[in-house]
Amino acid sequence: MADLICLVDDDASFRTSISRLLQLRGYDVVQFASAGGALEALRNGLTPNCILLDVKMPNLSGPTLQERLRELEIDSPIIFLTGYGDIPTTVTAIKAGAEDVLSKPVPEQVLIGAIQRATDRFQVERSKSAWRRTARTLLESLTPREREVFERVVRGKANKLAARELGITERTVKAHRQRIFEKLHAKTVAELVSLAARLEILEETTSRMHDDPAQGSDQ
């Protein structure tokens, strides 16, 4: 499936020429003459792999649209195209999360290179987000007690110590561990630790146990 590029610019001739160029390069393109029109479509589910966005447009400017999309947690990468390229505009846009700022007229290779970098990063981030959603769904399948055992397993606590901390038998801890491995589709403790680290659960667990000295005690 071709990457979808959202082109937002109030210059009709510019939109036409850029759209033709991108389509010849194998991209799908959707055009908007205003930032307001693009915002409505994006709010209603349009998910482009990259947004090419003019900086200065009537009513709603490119940077304002960027801010609105951030508020809506729409994370398609943005490349600003501007005939008014200056250092303050570039710095502000990049700080706000823009992928790049390119001055018109943009050389073809420069534009295609910027789009490729943006779409590649978007695909990677989207894959990471999908993994995190799946992993958190699996984690939420654990019972409260299984979650307590899981947190101790990934911190390297032995079954005996975990049992003492939780006030249950070592056999019960082992039973919980078995169900944890099954629910999280893990075969080794290392896989559980990796999952916890990638979801930043280790940091959350350590912080919580520091707040509760009784839980954090190994004595």
Calpha distance 41→62 (Å, rounded)? 15
Domains and CATH numbers, the chain: 4-129 (3.40.50.2300), 141-216 (1.10.10.10)
Calpha distance 205→216 (Å, rounded)? 10
Q: What pLDDT does residue 56 have?
A: 86
pLDDT tens string 71-123: 998 989 999 998 766 667 777 777 878 889 898 889 999 999 999 999 998 88
Give 203's pLDDT tier (boundaries 50, 70, 90): low
Query: Dihedral sign, CA of 90, 67, 23, 4?
Result: positive
b/e burial code for range 123-132 (CB count within 10 A of at least 16 → b): eeeeeeeeee
How many Cβ atoms sit within 10 Å of the Cβ of residue 188? 9
Higher-confidence position of 172 and 207: 172
- Name the DSSP letter for residue 158: -
Higher-confidence position of 215 and 141: 141
Q: What pLDDT does residue 214 have?
A: 44
Q: Is 168 helix (H, G, I), strand (E, B) or coil?
A: coil
C-alpha R_g of the chain = 25
Calpha distance 47→94 (Å, rounded)? 21
Burial class (CB in 10 A: 0-12, 13-18, 19+), 203: exposed
Residue 159 scores a pLDDT above 80: yes
- Span 180-208, average pLDDT: 82
pLDDT tens string 122-145: 888 888 888 888 888 999 999 999
pLDDT tens string 161-181: 999 999 999 999 999 999 999
Residue 219 scores a pLDDT above 50: no
CA angle, corner 84, sides to 87 and 36, nearest 5? 110
CA angle, corner 85, sides to 5 and 81, nearest 5? 10
Amino acid, single-letter form, for residue 36 = G
pTM of the model: 0.66
Give 210's pLDDT tier (boundaries 50, 70, 90): very low
How many Cβ atoms sit within 10 Å of the Cβ of residue 5? 25
Least confident of 16-20, 25-29, 84-88: 84-88
Q: Is 185 left (phi over 0), alpha (psi -120 to 50) or beta?
A: left
- Span 199-207, average pLDDT: 66
What mean pLDDT value characterizes the chain?
87
- Name the DSSP letter for residue 83: S
Asked if residues 118 and 99 have their Cβ atoms less than 8 Å apart, the reply is: yes
Asked if residues 41 and 30 have their Cβ atoms less than 8 Å apart, the reply is: yes
Q: What pLDDT does residue 41 have?
A: 96
Residue 58 scores a pLDDT above 60: yes
- Name the DSSP letter for residue 107: P
